[in-house]
Amino acid sequence: MSTMPLATAVQLTLADAVDESLAFALAGRDATCLWCGGHDMEVLTADLWSGAVVVRCRQCGTELDGVVPRHLREVPR
């Protein structure tokens, strides 16, 4: 008998949440602020070639910057 549960919920890590938020902002979709939960994010700078992006929340003023991983920038066919 196996001790592994049949169904497990996958929880995002903080790094996954940051990558996903930056990817949404880079794609022009509605990104969520990781600090206040607001949906009013503005893209300050974005480089589609490298994936570097800087976003700011208009509600709380928090800035987030990073590089979106390539697998999140690719368009599924």
Assigned domain for 22 exists: yes
Per-residue model confidence (pLDDT) at position 56: 96
H/E element, 49:
none
Assigned domain for 3 exists: no
Per-residue model confidence (pLDDT) at position 72: 85
The rounded average pLDDT for each run of 10 residues, N- to C-terminus, in the chain (77 residues) is 64 89 89 90 91 94 93 76
Assigned domain for 45 exists: yes
Per-residue model confidence (pLDDT) at position 7: 65
Per-residue model confidence (pLDDT) at position 74: 77
Count of C-beta atoms within a 10 Å radius of residue 21: 20
Looking up residue 18, the CATH number of its domain turns out to be 2.20.25
Per-residue model confidence (pLDDT) at position 6: 62
The parent domain of residue 64 ranges over: 14-73
